[in-house]
């Protein structure tokens, strides 16, 4: 990533020596580069906007829901894809406008739907059952609520099966064949107004074709829905553009290539049906992944079957390798100018065999005290962290230009106990 460089043998983000940051804030430590996020946002937006006016980016808040990340993007005019009442509230507190938030999700509770109505966000509806529940809640509140339906476009998508969401067999969305009936029901339901159409086909997709196909499906459906008398204010094509985690083998499309594949299809569809809704997109990973490194200290080195560098961050802080077998590049941050000498397996501190961050990577010979930077951890890194094995979650630091500040304090061992209660019968 462009924000990383080497100075005096140390890995540096922007102007900040990562070895110094690790000393100042301790490890493990997430370091987020705001300048990188903002420039990604601007690049993504202008790639699409050069084909069509009225592009609105909704950052997928699940990638990293830190208020400082949301606020950096809010200040640039971003909205957000929010997937829970928690994300919705974070996005509003970060200063995002309710009309730029889409409340997504297959399984919203009554409380979620109430909050959606109260806060004035757009709601992406995932079933007719949910439509009826929302209509009832909105009627009771006497407040109209603008909605979209999430379409299941039934597309095969080349990515990890756990994150391919556009397949017909997944839990997501309403089948394309039932969408017209859904809009007719929404048009007739009290206190809901259909104003949008939504889809999201999956994540970490390294091929632009599926996005173009989804755009074609959505454009056709938009035509049919318009013929029903529904005025679409937005069409949301979701997120999903992947990043080249494995720089030697992954070939990742740029936002410009994504736009070149998707936008002509979208624009042609809009012209054909004589409509001009806003185009919404929901990138998460592409905006965030490369902005962040996770710094982890080598506690000990063991040369057994392999050379293990036992570090202080495991799948408690970065779940992706254990959950999706995903690859993250690792760099010895305090020896960043030294050549790789030894195949090293970077192993976390968790009590499971699967707690391997990186396997057999050529690194400078490791010793206790070395600092390893795990790259591309800005999306679905901290966001999926847990306290497993009684490990407090790490702090997050954000850098921007000359600034470096804590944007989330590290949890303490007292924090582990803070939400727990001893039942009455054990108190004596």
Bridge partners for 373 per DSSP: 295, 331
**Dist. CA 341–CA 278, nearest whole Å:** 53
Which is nearer to ligand LLP, 284 or 348 (by Cβ)? 284
Residue 377 neighbours by CB under 8 Å, 6+ apart: 30, 289, 292, 293, 294, 318, 328
- Cross-strand bridge partners of residue 396: 30, 408
| Binding residues among 153-192 for ligand LLP as defined by CB under 6 A | 163
Q: Tell me: is residue 391 an annotated ligand-binding position.
A: no
Q: Return the residue of 27, 56, 203, 345 that touches ligand LLP, per CB under 6 A.
A: 203
45-74 mask for ligand LLP (x: CB under 6 A)? ---------------x-xx-----------
Out of 173, 210, 277, 283, point to the residue binding ligand LLP (CB under 6 A). 283
| 113-121, 197-205, 270-278, 406-414 -> range binding ligand LLP (CB under 6 A) | 197-205
Query: Parallel, antiparallel, or unpaired for β 29-33 and 16-17?
Result: unpaired
CB of 392 to ligand LLP, least distance (A): 22
396 near ligand LLP (CB under 6 A): no
Closest CA to 168 of 158, 180, 156, 159: 156
Cα end-to-end span (Å), the chain: 57
Q: Are the C-beta atoms of 294 and 318 separated by less than 8 Å?
A: yes
Helix H or strand E encompassing 291 = none
Asked whether residue 324 is marked as a ligand-binding residue, the answer is yes
Region of residue 360 (left: phi > 0; alpha: psi -120 to 50; beta: else)? left
Give me the 234-273 binding string for ligand LLP, x by CB under 6 A, dash otherwise: ----xxxx--------------------------------
Q: Is 284 annotated as a binding residue?
A: yes
CB of 335 to ligand LLP, least distance (A): 29
Residue 402, token pair as written in the block: 């000359």
Judge whether 320 is annotated as a binding position: yes
Rounded to whole angstroms, the Cα distance separating 292 from 40 reads 13
**What count of Cα atoms within 13 Å lies in the side-chain half-sphere of residue 414?**
0
Among 297, 320, 328, 361, binds ligand LLP (CB under 6 A): 320
- Residue 283 known to bind ligand: yes
Our CB check for ligand LLP shows the closer of 240 and 364 to be: 240
Known catalytic residue at 351: yes
What is residue 191's three-state secondary structure? coil
Identify the residue whose tokens are 């009936």: 181
Minimum distance between the CB of residue 253 and ligand LLP, rounded to whole angstroms?
13
108 binds ligand LLP (CB under 6 A): no
Beta-carbon contacts of residue 291 (< 8 Å; ≥ 6 apart): 1, 3, 32, 33, 34, 36, 37, 40, 378
Question: Binding segment for ligand LLP among 38-46, 198-206, 363-371, 395-403 (CB under 6 A)?
Answer: 198-206
Q: Does residue number 204 form part of the binding site for ligand LLP (CB under 6 A)?
A: yes
Q: Which is nearer to ligand LLP, 297 or 320 (CB)?
A: 320
Residue of 10, 100, 108, 285 interacting with ligand LLP (CB under 6 A): 285
Two structure tokens written together for 334: 């305090």
- Which runs of consecutive H residues, i.e. helices, occur in 142-199? 179-188
Q: Which of 53, 142, 177, 351 is catalytic?
A: 351
Long-range pairs for 4-8 at CB < 8 Å and ≥24 separation? 4/293, 4/375, 6/336, 6/337
Whether residue 114 is annotated as binding a ligand: the answer is: no
**The Cα angle at residue 13 between residues 1 and 381, in degrees rounded to 5:** 65
In the bound state with ligand LLP, the residue whose beta carbon lies nearer, of 19 and 82, is 82
x/- mask, ligand LLP, residues 329-358, rule CB under 6 A, reads ------------------------------
Task: Give the shortest CB-200-to-ligand LLP separation in angstroms.
Answer: 4
Question: Which residues are documented as binding site for substrate?
Answer: 285, 320, 324, 352, 380
Residues annotated as part of the active site: 351
**Site of interaction with ligand LLP (CB under 6 A):** 60, 62-63, 81, 104, 163, 200, 203-204, 238-241, 282-286, 320, 324, 379-380
């Amino acid at each position: 990533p462009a924000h990383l460089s080497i100075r005096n043998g140390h890995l540096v983000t922007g102007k900040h020596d990562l070895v110094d940051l690790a000393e100042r804030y301790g490890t493990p430590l997430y370091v987020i580069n705001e300048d990188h996020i903002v420039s990604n946002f601007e690049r993504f937006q202008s790639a699409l906007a050069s084909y069509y006016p009225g592009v609105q980016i909704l950052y997928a808040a699940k990638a990293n829901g830190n208020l400082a990340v949301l606020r950096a993007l809010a200040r640039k005019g971003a909205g957000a894809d929010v997937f829970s009442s928690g994300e919705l509230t974070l996005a509003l507190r970060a200063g995002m406008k309710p009309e730029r938030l889409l409340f997504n999700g297959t399984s919203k509770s009554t409380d979620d739907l109430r909050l959606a109505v109260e806060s004035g966000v757009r709601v992406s509806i995932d079933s007719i059952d949910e439509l009826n529940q929302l209509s009832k809640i909105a009627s009771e509140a006497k407040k109209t609520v603008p909605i979209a339906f999430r379409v299941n476009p039934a597309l095969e998508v080349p990515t990890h099966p756990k994150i391919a969401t556009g397949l017909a067999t997944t839990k997501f969305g309403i089948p394309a064949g039932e969408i017209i009936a859904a809009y007719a029901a929404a048009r007739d339901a009290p206190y809901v107004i259909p104003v949008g159409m939504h889809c999201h086909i999956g994540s970490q997709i390294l091929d632009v074709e599926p996005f173009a196909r989804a755009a074609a499906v959505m454009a056709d459906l938009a035509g049919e829905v318009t013929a029903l008398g529904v005025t679409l204010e937005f069409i949301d094509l979701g997120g999903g553009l992947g990043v080249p985690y494995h720089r030697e083998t992954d070939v990742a499309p740029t936002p410009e290539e994504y736009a070149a594949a998707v936008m002509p299809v979208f624009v042609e569809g809009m012209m054909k049906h004589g409509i001009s809704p806003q185009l919404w997109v929901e990138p998460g990973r592409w905006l965030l992944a490369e902005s962040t490194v996770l710094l982890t200290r080598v506690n000990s080195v063991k040369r057994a079957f392999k050379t293990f560098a036992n570090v202080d961050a495991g799948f408690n802080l970065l779940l992706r390798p254990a959950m999706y077998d995903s690859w993250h590049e690792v760099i010895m941050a305090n020896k960043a100018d030294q050549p790789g000498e030894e195949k090293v397996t970077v192993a976390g501190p968790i009590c499971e065999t699967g707690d391997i961050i990186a396997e057999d990577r050529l690194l400078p010979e490791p010793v206790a005290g070395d600092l390893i930077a795990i790259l591309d951890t800005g999306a679905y890194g901290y966001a999926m962290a847990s306290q497993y094995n009684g490990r407090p979650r790490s702090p997050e630091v954000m850098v921007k230009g000359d600034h470096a500040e804590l944007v989330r304090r590290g949890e303490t061992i007292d924090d582990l106990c803070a939400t727990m209660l001893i039942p009455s019968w054990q108190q004596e």
